[in-house]
Amino acid sequence: MSRRGFQSLELETAIGSVLLPNPVMTASGTVGHSTELARYLDYSEVGAVVVKSLAPYEWPGNPAPRVHPVPAGMINSVGLQGPGLPRWLAEELPAQAASGARVVVSIWGRTLDDYAAASELLASADGPAMEAVVAVEVNVSCPNLEDRGRMFSHSATMTQAALAATESCGLPRWAKLSATGDLVEIAAAAVEGGAEALTLINTLLGMVVDTESRKPVLGGGGGGVSGRAIGPVAVRSVYDVYAAMPDVPIIGVGGIASGSGAVEMMMAGASAVQVGTATFADPQAPTKVLRELARWCTSHDVSRLNELIGAAHE
């Protein structure tokens, strides 16, 4: 087995029109809104930093407690707490840009008007810090107040509408979707709405009940399950969507905590990956996954990432 140096390994990956130096990113919601983890994580080393989802307004989130461990992962009901896009653009983005990060802005809303407003705020933003923003991840795994609280991402029609509402942002858009039985149909709708790429998957809906108090453990009731527990679901989701739409770039997320986990996701069809829950246990997890991925490729005589993407379909 050849032992080529990392210098001969090409880690660049293209996510639609976005070219990244490597395929490992942070996942939205796990590294905050700015440079909270800068003591541990070199933001310029990873492919991109995806910020915690932002609405066009400040949002307080759900009542405590907000997180709870589950076997092989965690469940959270943070409720998308955030300062809102206006404050983030003025107060947080400059620090991220100064860190050398390639920034992906995650946006969310409770109505189609919210998505449109977020898009317009990004379109009107200026200044040198905006040069760090490479894409917008449209988080449609949110309750739609205009559809009885049903998640946008559980409806092909509303997913397409939410993506279409963000067209004015003028940046490449990635649709972040939940795992559903209609995932391929919903993924196709996101692309029809203007998504250049798909981020698969968001957390899975779950709940933990305290058997002593006989009440849900989390203040918000149910929450989103993440971590290694959802890894196989994420891999299957990526595999199925890639099989149906092999020309649409996919970012795989869910349960990745090692280089081999990233390789598995890429073989299923992902062009890049995001590391999320693992970062709570180890803030350096994204860079460790990147280094382990590089070592795996070197030890398996893989010189270009294209040799991995979709390999499980061959």
Q: Which residues are marked as active site? A: 142
The rounded radius of gyration (Å) of the Cα atoms in the chain is 18
